[in-house]
Chain A
Amino acid sequence: MSAMDELWVEKHRPRSVNEIKGQPSIVSRLRAYADNGTFPHLMLAGPPGTGKTTAAMALTRDIYGDEFRNNLLEMNASDERKLESIRTKVKNFARTSPYGNAPFKIIFLDEADALTNDAQGALRRIMEQHAATCRFILSCNYSSKIIEPIQSRCAVFRFRPLANDQVETQIKFVAESEEVELDQDACEAIVRVSLGDLRKAITALQVAAAVNKKVTRELVYETTATAPPEVLHQYLLACREDGFHAARRRLKEILNNFGLAGTDFINQLHRTLYDVDFLTEPAKLELTRLMAEIDFRLVEGGGEQLQLDSLTAHISTVLKNI
């Protein structure tokens, strides 16, 4: 039995570039950087949970070893997005010489797309003037929010959402090393609830394993408070075949069985919506709009019963007309 006193996300986070799984072409480039002990300014772009921070930290650790914190300035740009922070904090760190024998320092700017335009303007020349003693790693969700001159100064890496089989491999690896029994169905369920976010997937595994070392599909859906796709399909079918009352009853069952709030239900329903065969594509668009609207009313404080009834009634009408 392995102990349950540690977060698996932390425990299994790669410490070195060599340990990173997934994003293979990015990793091989990073490995070359680590082997040579040097790299240009980097811009890492991509959705959350795809390994940007992990990659940046692993590279830093590979270059400096365990004492990496001495030569690293980590800044979350969405907390300090102003021009002044760049002109003072970043600039001061960049222009002092590296600690120990290190060839250069590293500034890691997380969420750099939150920097104001003027702050980015100030950043570009610092990047150039101090390139000899300081390297920048910028991470962002949307690269188009980073001004062109900065991109021109960086090697750009685009992190894609992890493919399902990549998440699967990782999950299986963690399960094995933690001695968790995980069948294929359960593994697929974890992949589905995690939406390509590895961090989410590993946490889901740990939560399920905390309840029972033998992780099953049902357990995964139960512990993550997620309705399995076939249950959601049945709701849509009920809307089409059995009419409003039956569909409303089914919806109530789902909420109770899986402990869902109205907005959770809508978000989960939308994730399966595009896979439903008996819907036309334009109908999927119409239902998306409808769900967006109901979701909005719910978070603005609309009554859950009333709003979900409205959802069911509208879906039934749309489905009858196609």
Chain B
Amino acid sequence: MASSKNEHPDWTEKYRPNIEEELVGNKEAREKIKKWISEWGNGTPKKRSLLLVGPPGVGKTSIARAIALENNWNIIELNASEERNAAAIRKAATSGAVNKSLFSYEGEVKRSIILLDEVDHMSGRLRKVSENKIKNNISNDTAPSEILSGDTGGKAELLNLISNSREPIILACNDVMRFWGLGSGWRERKDRFLKKIDLVNFNRVNNSELRIIANKVLKTEGYSIDGAALERLVSINVGDIRALIKDLQSLALESNGNISLSDIDKQISIGGRDQSIDLFPGLETLYKSKSAKKSQSIMLNLDKTPDELIAWISWNNARIHNSTEVISNGANYLAFADSILPIMYENNAYKSWYWGSNISALSSGIIGEINQRTKIFLQYPDFLRKNNESWKKSELVNKISKGLGVNKSSAKIEFYPLLLAFHNKEINEDWISNFNISYRHGLEFSEHALISNLVASHKITKKLGENFLKRVVEIEKKIEHIIEDENEVLNDIPDGQSTLF
């Protein structure tokens, strides 16, 4: 890090590594990226794009920039602070090619890395916009009604780009589920992207690596830190290099040259960051509180919204309380609290947040006896994790009800069993090749697998999945032609609906 020459006022920028070797942590991921980069030396690799996935502050953007600097390549960055519609992406990609002819010496080809950061914040799904519209937007010769706004068509153009690019493309994001897009069709989008890109996972950086970084930065800046203080500081910034350096700069500014443990404790009392890995501190004290008064004051300091509280407490009540009576009692109160929360959208005068937070906080500890001395083991609520079976089934029922124009309960009670019967191998002989119903209702393969009672790990399931996807892509292609012909009308159809019919 001593090689940092810039005098950026913000230490996190000042100490952003300039060469790949200076990066710390995630060695495996970095090796994978280096190998892929070296493949670009001998033509175009099989996958032209990498998707770096991981929590914030672990070096995803840094490695892309370091590689570009080190190899003396251009870097073209497009992040979420800019619009990323189809035209913007096309423009960025082609500017790579333009740079090549302008700036390279004779015979030397200067590469460009295209870095699309924060792709999980690209809105919209895979719907395309017409080729003409893109060209018009790039040439600035655009009728006002034609101007692409926001991220319109961005993802489709991205898919096009990573299929055809002659330059390496690095995508980065925190939440890969968000990138595939929520709602129907995410599995297909995921499969289509994964055919073209390799996924590289970044993990939180471990503590010894964080210590190394902290020491380097402080030494360069002429500060020192006590051992215990460093230990504590590292423990509150789980795996986040940027947050660590940010804290160091704040602490150093206030210190007289040395950072001590009491400085860190002060820092903690001022404020820590939320990290999605933690159980939140304070939940345990809430469970051990014996009075309503105490529960309320803990709740006021928790900084959690009532719906979060309800989720956490209802999940953990069932683990912590033993008596069924207590659990059911608590569940009743929580269900009540849950039912009043949406009212705030209809009637602003009703203090549903106030009541919701109070009722949920009181429904944790004081509803039953809790042994004060035993350690309580709390857990992350399972149903907050996406993607479980019941989630899948309810999506499926939604699709059937929309497709048939019946309400959800008839879809569930009358038609769902019928679908199961159609795809039951004992009843229907050609169950295995019969995708018709699933196509008609826009089901994804995983949903098809659910009604066909297919086990995900079996070979046949995989094979069927490939066939299924092949057909989906064929059908989509046909539709795109139709859309291009009448795109004015069809462009207004919300995402997802135009995917299959």
Contacts and interface: CB of A to CB of B under 8 A. Distances in A.
B331 interface: no
Contacts of B301: 160-161
Contacts of B300: 47, 161
A29 B254 CA distance: 7
Interface residues of B, number: 65
B429 interface: no
Contact of B174 (A118, A122, A142, A149): A149
A125 B350 contact: no
Interface stretch (B240-248, B397-405, B486-494): B240-248
Most buried by A among B56, B250, B271: B271
Interface in A33-86: 33, 36, 38, 40, 43, 45-47, 83-84, 86
Contacts of B150: 83-84
Contact of A125 (B117, B254, B271, B347): B117
A118 B366 contact: no
Most buried by B among A117, A121, A125, A151: A121
B336 A124 contact: no
A132 B8 contact: yes
Interface stretch (A225-233, A293-301, A309-317): A293-301
A126 B81 CA distance: 6
Contacts of B305: 142, 144-145
A121 B343 CA distance: 29
Contacts of A131: 8-10, 13
Interface in A174-201: none
A129 B80 contact: no
Contacts of B13: 128, 131-132
A100 interface: no
Interface stretch (B35-43, B89-97, B289-297): B289-297
Contact of B82 (A26, A87, A288): A87
A300 B347 CA distance: 8
Nearest to B174: A149
A300 B274 contact: no
Contacts of A273: 292
B218 to A, nearest CB: 16
B350 A157 contact: no
Contacts of A117: 121
A153 interface: yes
Interface string B71-111: 00000000111110000000000000000000000000000
Contact of B240 (A25, A45, A152, A274): A152
A169 interface: no
A102 interface: no
Interface residues of A, number: 68
Interface string B48-85: 00000001110000000000000000000001111100
Contacts of B350: 295-296, 299-300
B394 interface: no
B233 to A, nearest CB: 13
A158 B270 contact: yes
A125 B266 contact: no
A83 B352 CA distance: 28
Interface in B245-290: 246-247, 249-250, 253-254, 266, 269-276, 290
Contacts of B343: 296
A318 interface: no
A89 to B, nearest CB: 12
B460 interface: no
A178 to B, nearest CB: 30
Interface stretch (A1-9, A214-222, A237-245, A277-285): A277-285
A108 to B, nearest CB: 18
A285 B271 contact: no
Contacts of A149: 56-57, 118, 174
A281 to B, nearest CB: 4
A33 B253 contact: yes
B10 A132 contact: yes
B9 A87 contact: no
Contact of B292 (A38, A83, A160, A284): A284
B106 to A, nearest CB: 34
Interface stretch (B356-364, B406-414, B476-484): B356-364
A143 interface: yes
A304 to B, nearest CB: 14
Contact of B308 (A25, A144, A275): A144
A296 B250 contact: no
A227 B376 CA distance: 40
Contacts of B275: 148
Nearest to B280: A144
Interface in B1-52: 8-10, 12-13
B355 A281 contact: no
Contact of A87 (B8, B81, B340, B349): B81
Nearest to A88: B83
B367 interface: yes
Contacts of B367: 282, 285
B293 A158 contact: no
A285 B9 CA distance: 52
B123 interface: yes
Contact of B351 (A274, A285, A295): A295
A289 B246 contact: no
A281 B243 contact: no
B315 interface: no
A40 to B, nearest CB: 6
A156 interface: yes
Given A124-B80, A157-B271, A118 B123 contact: yes
B209 interface: no
B10 A118 contact: no
Given A32-B254, A295-B351, A274 B270 contact: no
B303 A285 contact: no
A260 interface: no
B447 interface: no
A121 B246 CA distance: 19
B79 A125 contact: yes
B64 to A, nearest CB: 13
Given A148-B56, A288-B359, 6 more contacts: A86-B81, A125-B80, A144-B303, A145-B305, A288-B292, A289-B336
22 contacts: A26-B270, A43-B271, A83-B150, A103-B9, A117-B121, A118-B121, A121-B120, A132-B10, A142-B303, A143-B274, A148-B273, A148-B274, A149-B56, A149-B57, A149-B174, A152-B57, A152-B246, A156-B273, A274-B296, A285-B359, A289-B336, A291-B355
9 interchain residue pairs of minimum CB distance = A121-B121, A158-B271, A292-B355, A149-B56, A156-B271, A32-B254, A274-B293, A281-B366, A284-B292
Interface of B: 8-10, 12-13, 55-57, 79-83, 117-118, 120-121, 123, 150, 174, 240, 242-243, 246-247, 249-250, 253-254, 266, 269-276, 290-293, 296, 300-301, 303-305, 308, 333, 336, 340, 343, 347, 349-352, 355, 358-359, 362-363, 366-367
